[in-house]
Amino acid sequence: MKKIAHIDLNAFFAQVEMLKNPSLKGKMIAVGNSERRGVVSTSSYEARKMGVFSGMPMSTALSICKGLIVIPGHYSEYSRMSKMFFGYLQKKFPILEQASIDECYIDMTDYLIDGEEKNQLFDLQMELYKSTELKCSIGLGKNRFLAKMGSDYKKPLGLTIITDANLQELLWPLSIDKMYGVGKKTAPRLKELGIQTIGNLATTKDPEVKKALGNMFEYLQGEANGFGDDVIITAAFDPKSISAERTFSEDVSSYEELKGMIKVCSLEVEKELKYYNKECKTVVLKFRTPDFVTRSQRITLKEPIYEVKDIFTAAMTVFDRVFKEQSFRLLGVGVDKVSQRRIVEEQKEDVLLQKINNGLLEGGKVFLGSKLKDKKDEDK
């Protein structure tokens, strides 16, 4: 039987903001792109106690949580910290699958000793916190589903092992909307049919429930009974699309102001493309009008791009086609169906510089030249 772990960074964006600014520790904070019209990306546990959660409109969060501190977010720093954290884990556990910027699955079958799993995982938690300053919750089970449910069971710094022996005690009493894989639209429908808990789903034979879930019924019921996939895909996290958007505090109709925001979003997309060594042919412009109607239009190019100037030009081509001197409350730029960036002749100088900065050249010795110094200065 395999031993699959799921490691989830606790309120990751909020954690990073607290590391950047220690005065935020212990305070109610929310990361989001606008104080009034944006949405909450994540919130500190202090804010969650007041009812502030991811996906909530920022205006609602501010109304229910007086004194909430709103932070616009530093996504390049989140990417850097994520890469550091999972890179550290990957050195210890080669069978690791990064599921998102703040979570991963690990096959620990050959690492954990029978009967010592809890102590070993606790030691790993403390080691990770000491080495990276990041807190995480860990779930362990014989498959991915049980591991994921385990990491969600208790936060922050939770550690839950779900086995065949304790599955009914730990999971079955949980509300059906707490089950991983049951969406926000499906859960209310199941509750209407009498499926209030995971245990209800695990034991039901109701044909109406089967009809409501369709071909997902056997799969979800199987998971509720402890079955599931135990395969870990070790390929690196590979985004298929990248985007950045901004919600304005007030409706904006100024062409120059909107153009400026498109450039800001294009720059963020470029950073992510370069971080993952990607390029794209499709650029998407997302926009929301004052009546809350959200639309998107795209343009497909003949040749792949990754530089901000090309992303911006493509996005502006779409914007000029769309803009009729109306107001917008949100603008976003994205790229779709991204692919691995090709190394062509004009990029060789960049690759050479990267190798120099990484200490890979200069006769096999670590080279700490002025260009590396400049890069460090920029990173500061």
Q: Which of 33, 36, 32 is nearest to 44 (CA)?
A: 32
Torsion of CA 169, 173, 174, 177, to 10 degrees: 140
Spatial distance between the Cα atoms of 90 and 104, rounded to a whole number of angstroms: 10
CA distances from 43 to 37, 56, 93 (A): 16, 10, 30
Active site residues per annotation: 103
Chain position carrying tokens 């390929």: 235
Spatial distance between the Cα atoms of 219 and 179, rounded to a whole number of angstroms: 13
Q: SS3 of 260, please?
A: helix
Helical pair 255-275 and 308-322, crossing angle rounded to 10 deg: 140
**Contact of 226 with 167, CB cutoff 8 Å:** yes
**Contact of 267 with 305, CB cutoff 8 Å:** no
